[in-house]
Chain A
């Protein structure tokens, strides 16, 4: 029964079955792609037609008005650097204030969302759904709504960032809190401590460095987010970027993009160093 020929037959059958499955999957995918291409009004021809204009766009943003390379005259390229740096500073400040507000809200809510700290399952459930809602709705949608309610400016942007940050950090924080060692908690309870003592002396020392690390990571993400909130009028450098792109000020587009990318990379590098130190501290301590 178990002769080599039947075994190889079984192998061939198994391979053939798998092949069939893969082809079927590819067929379904292909149908979806054709359908999607029809809906999104695109075709390969249109794409090929436009490749040229894409490269020419990049050629244009890399050249000044007088036709010279942008790098040949940095002063001319970054002619508005004072204004732009101020706007970039405003963007960073928005990200900072938004992250801090969101982190504080998340700090309060995460204990209510973790099962080991809150006995009432309804409170846990409701807090979790609230956090989920605030992180599922994109921050730019919140910003759109807040711009109507709070009028134009950085304030609606900050609030949008703060709400999204609350949702994202609240979830991460709650997961950290659910994984703490419960022995210190029992210790505090045994000496007659109340809920706040429990949080302050048993849980916070275990989670503080992790929380700070997550908050810094969120700050990085929020810097990127804050840079585009201006598209809907919610402050920061985005408003100016939108204008120069829409008005075809090619050299300004590249100058602003370079400024944003450089700032984001700088912030990433800085926070990464701090985060590594924080996590190292946790391992040592």
Chain B
């Protein structure tokens, strides 16, 4: 049985050598890549001090921490009120940061879009600035703004504003480029000015898309706003990091659950609003 199989394979090999060669080539490069991946991984484990003892000891500690987190408990009604207010502050930071970024990105998006920009140099600089703003993490922006305006929620709003400006600028300009230019030609052919072409040709197509992107960003900003407090930029993150440092674990798990619940609530509301704005149109 097996000899017949071997024989058949040998004839196939002799008849179609080129197919088998390609197959073996692919195999060899896959194996080499795998070996490289494992080698880098081993180097990482070694140089980053991931010893077996540390991991096992840490897991034990983590297990006991998780046990001490249960049940989640705010401590007192007064504390629960404090947390709720901090959560509200987080939402306020997210709302203001998102709105400011959207407002600023709206005109700038036109400058960065191929079909509405003034000239290539402006477009180039607008795009590279957006890239740079996006390249810096929001926590870094938060730290920088703290240096400029001091600790507190205002630094958080500005951090969200700057990092969202990069995201919105890119998204908006892409949406503008994707807009159909037939309405624009229509407006221009009836004697409309370029401004009128943007207002009546592009904006009606654009607004639902932009609003849906802003709403989507708002829910992800609620997440970001809840962590920037860790570096001191307002919101619930400050409370969270203090609780972890002082090992008030039951309160901490309460706060984490509160953040998760709020984020999923915002998720739900935004999804509803998005659906009512863009209607049944798939996006």
Contact = CB atoms under 8 A, between A and B. Distances in A.
B260 A97 contact: no
Given A97-B41, A145-B244, A248-B147, A154 B62 contact: no
B55 A232 contact: no
A155 B256 contact: no
B95 A32 contact: yes
Contact of B148 (A54, A138, A225, A265): A54
A144 B240 contact: yes
A245 interface: yes
A94 B48 contact: yes
Given A137-B256, A141-B227, A96 B139 contact: no
Interface stretch (A34-42, A77-85, A185-193): A34-42
B242 to A, nearest CB: 10
Nearest to A232: B230
A260 B44 CA distance: 20
Contacts of A225: 137
A100 B50 CA distance: 14
Interface in A233-261: 235, 241-242, 245-246, 248, 253, 257, 260-261
Contacts of A245: 140, 143-144, 147
Nearest to B99: A33
Contacts of B57: 150
A90 interface: yes
A261 B137 contact: no
Nearest to B241: A144
Given A100-B41, A138-B223, A141-B240, A36 B47 contact: no
Interface string B88-120: 110111011001000000000000000000000
B154 A57 contact: no
B62 A146 contact: yes
A50 B149 contact: yes
B74 interface: no
B153 A155 contact: no
A93 B47 contact: yes
B230 A140 contact: yes
B231 interface: yes
Contacts of B93: 36, 40
Q: Which label, helix, strand, loop or mixed, suits the secondary structure of the A interface? A: helix
B226 A138 contact: yes
A54 B159 CA distance: 12
A36 B240 CA distance: 21
A154 B49 contact: yes
A149 B58 contact: yes
A40 B153 contact: yes
Contacts of A90: 47-48
Contacts of B147: 57, 245, 248
B58 to A, nearest CB: 4
Nearest to B33: A212
Contacts of B48: 90, 93-94, 97, 153-155, 158, 235
B1 interface: no
A264 interface: yes
A227 B40 CA distance: 19
A224 interface: yes
With most chain B CB atoms within 10 A of its CB, the pick from A32, A36, A153, A225 is A36
A57 B148 contact: yes
A57 B144 contact: yes
Nearest to A262: B135
Given A41-B153, A228-B139, A261-B132, A144 B148 contact: no
14 contacts: A42-B153, A53-B148, A100-B41, A146-B62, A149-B61, A150-B57, A151-B58, A224-B137, A231-B143, A231-B231, A245-B140, A245-B147, A261-B135, A265-B135
Interface of A: 29, 32-33, 35-37, 39-42, 46, 50, 53-54, 57, 90, 93-94, 96-97, 100, 136-138, 140-141, 144-146, 148-151, 153-156, 158, 224-225, 227-228, 231-232, 235, 241-242, 245-246, 248, 253, 257, 260-261, 264-265
Given A36-B95, A54-B149, A153-B49, 7 more contacts: A36-B92, A37-B96, A40-B153, A41-B152, A53-B148, A141-B240, A150-B62
Instruction: Give me the 4 closest cross-chain CB pairs, A-B, nearest first.
Output: A150-B58, A36-B92, A149-B62, A40-B153
Interface of B: 37, 40-41, 43-45, 47-50, 54-55, 57-59, 61-62, 65, 88-89, 91-93, 95-96, 99, 131-132, 135-137, 139-140, 143-145, 147-149, 152-154, 156-157, 223, 226-227, 230-231, 234, 240-241, 244-245, 247, 256, 260, 263-264
